[in-house]
Amino acid sequence: MSPAALTPELTLTAGAVLGILLGSWLPRHRQWVVRLLAALACLVGLTATAAAIGGAPQLVFGGSYAVDTATNAGRVIVLAATLLTICLSIDTVGSHPRETEFYVLMLLAALGTIMLVGATDLLLLMAAYLLASIPLYALAGFAKDALGTEASLKYYLMGALLGVIMLTGITALYGAGRSTGYATLAQTLPSGPPAAVAVGLVAVLAGLLFKIGGVPAHFWVPDITEGASTPVAAFVTTVPKIGGLIATYRLVAEALPAAGVNWPLLVAMLATASMTLGNLAAFFQDTVRRLLAYSTISQVGYLLLAVTVATRSEIALPALLFYLAAYAVTNLGAFAVVAALPHAPNLADYRGLARRHPGLAAALVVCLLGLVGTPPTAVFLGKLEIFSAAIDGGYTWLAVVAVVNTVASLFYYLRWIAPALVAAPETDSEKVLAPAGRWPVLGAYTAAAASLALGVAGGVVLPLVSGPSLL
């Protein structure tokens, strides 16, 4: 194998190591150098990935890591999302005593997420899970305040518990299939003991569900989203999903295609539960962050549609990858608006936004309607693809459930849009709607524009995610 195939991963590693070394020597007001380094690492990784797109799919690391269209797409989405999160966090952690640690942890989490995307071996999957989780536990409690610490502790306990369960599952699958490599498992599992395979699958899925924040492993999502700082919340609700979902897809499509377990039905139930419970819980939230938290839980449900029909529809993988990209920019855009208005935690505080900051209001409307899936935003195209895949794969009922949920979700997104449009009493909105700085605003504009561009220019992007894949 050639190390060149892993340039993006190596760049992130180098960025993290260099960053921590550099940060130890830099005075506090010069730590922006590390931020620059982190951004640079992402950019180099993006360039390397762009160069690798379209190459022949290959397995590296003795067959435990795949470099194919799905991995490349995952890399691009994770790196771009990390870059956008760095933009959001500049005003929050600028000149913070531990600014260096913040960015290094973020790079490591991004690296772990990318490893999740490419892993084709259960043990590498477990290692990636840990690398993608542990930095985030620390980031969640970064501010050292009561809410953040509690959130961080809850996040850690859930992660540790489900990680152990996942490890148990890996053991069971290893016992049943005599291997941890997906390629071998695909051949051995169908003849393995069905009960062990089922237990192993459910346990491994438990860990991955924790990563993506899907029901029933979703309890940490609202606490983190409310307790951690906004950039961390944005990162945690967006980036790990990319890794977790592609990893789940790989697991079911590569290791279990013919296993006796009815995993499509299991995933379909999880999808239904995620979108329905997420939506129902979001209905009457009054703080924007909790609303976004439950909205991300419901989005996982739509994304799981593609996993359900992983082996039944050829368009499932492009649909998943495109939806992930669309979701990432749109969700980060909504969080960017929240980050730009730190003094407006409640829905009612957004009264008069359209009057005071028309640009931010426009970005908010684009992102929220984007999350609903209104054309011509990117999520619309993602939903079109994912619904098509579900119907194509014979899961029409699931597509109908998703449609009903989409309509229900509209209700709470509009509860946020509506106050932004009405005029506010002049006096207090001055202070409440004071923007934090120009970086989050820039992030919001970028994300909203990207969401629209990705939707309109979907014809250019879709072929990139439909390329040759090992799946």
Residue 394 touching other proteins (CB under 8 A) = no
Residue 410 touching other proteins (CB under 8 A) = yes
**Cα–Cα distance measured from residue 269 to residue 264, given in angstroms and rounded to the nearest whole number:** 9
CB of 284 to other proteins, least distance (A): 14
Among 26, 391, 452, 453, binds other proteins (CB under 8 A): 391
> Residues 172-201 vs other proteins: string with x where CB under 8 A?
------------------------------
Q: Which of residues 23-62 bind other proteins (CB under 8 A)?
A: none
Residue 162 makes CB contacts below 8 A (sequence gap 6+) with 206, 207, 209, 210, 217
Residue 421 touching other proteins (CB under 8 A) = yes
Cβ closer to other proteins: 180 or 406? 406
Burial class (CB in 10 A: 0-12, 13-18, 19+), 27: exposed
Residue 452 touching other proteins (CB under 8 A) = no
Residue 8 touching other proteins (CB under 8 A) = no
CB of 283 to other proteins, least distance (A): 13
Residue 121 touching other proteins (CB under 8 A) = no
Instruction: Give DSSP secondary structure letters for 358-406.
Output: HHHHHHHHHHHHHHHT-TTSHHHHHHHHHHHHHHHTT-HHHHHHHHHHH
Among 411, 426, 428, 468, binds other proteins (CB under 8 A): 411
Cβ closer to other proteins: 158 or 309? 309
- HSE-CB at 247 with a 13 A cutoff on CA atoms is 35
**Cα–Cα distance measured from residue 232 to residue 211, given in angstroms and rounded to the nearest whole number:** 15
Among 385, 398, 447, 451, binds other proteins (CB under 8 A): 385
Cβ closer to other proteins: 212 or 386? 386
**Cα–Cα distance measured from residue 267 to residue 454, given in angstroms and rounded to the nearest whole number:** 28
CA dist 80 → 42, 119, 202, 215, 354 (Å): 7, 20, 31, 27, 28
Among 182, 387, 395, 416, binds other proteins (CB under 8 A): 387
Site size with other proteins, rule: CB under 8 A:
32
CB of 318 to other proteins, least distance (A): 7
Residue 369 touching other proteins (CB under 8 A) = yes
Among 407, 428, 438, 468, binds other proteins (CB under 8 A): 407
Which residue in 415, 413, 417, 386 sits closest to 402, CA to CA?
A: 386
Cβ closer to other proteins: 226 or 385? 385
286 and 348 in contact (C-beta within 8 Å)? yes
CB of 456 to other proteins, least distance (A): 9
Burial class (CB in 10 A: 0-12, 13-18, 19+), 309: buried
Cβ closer to other proteins: 229 or 374? 374
**Cα–Cα distance measured from residue 431 to residue 416, given in angstroms and rounded to the nearest whole number:** 19
Residue 67: its H or E element: strand 65-67
Residue 222 touching other proteins (CB under 8 A) = no
Residue 66: its H or E element: strand 65-67
**Angle subtended at Cα 72 by Cα 66 and Cα 73, rounded to the nearest 5 degrees:** 125
Binding region for other proteins (CB under 8 A) out of 294-302, 385-393, 427-435, 437-445: 385-393
Q: Which of residues 300-359 bind other proteins (CB under 8 A)?
A: 318
Q: Collapse the DSSP code of 287 into the 3-class scheme (helix H, G, I; strand E, B; otherwise coil) and give the result.
A: strand
Q: State the residues that interact with other proteins by CB under 8 A.
A: 318, 369, 372, 374-376, 380-381, 384-385, 387-388, 391-392, 396, 399-400, 403-404, 406-407, 410-411, 414, 418, 421-422, 458-459, 462-463, 466
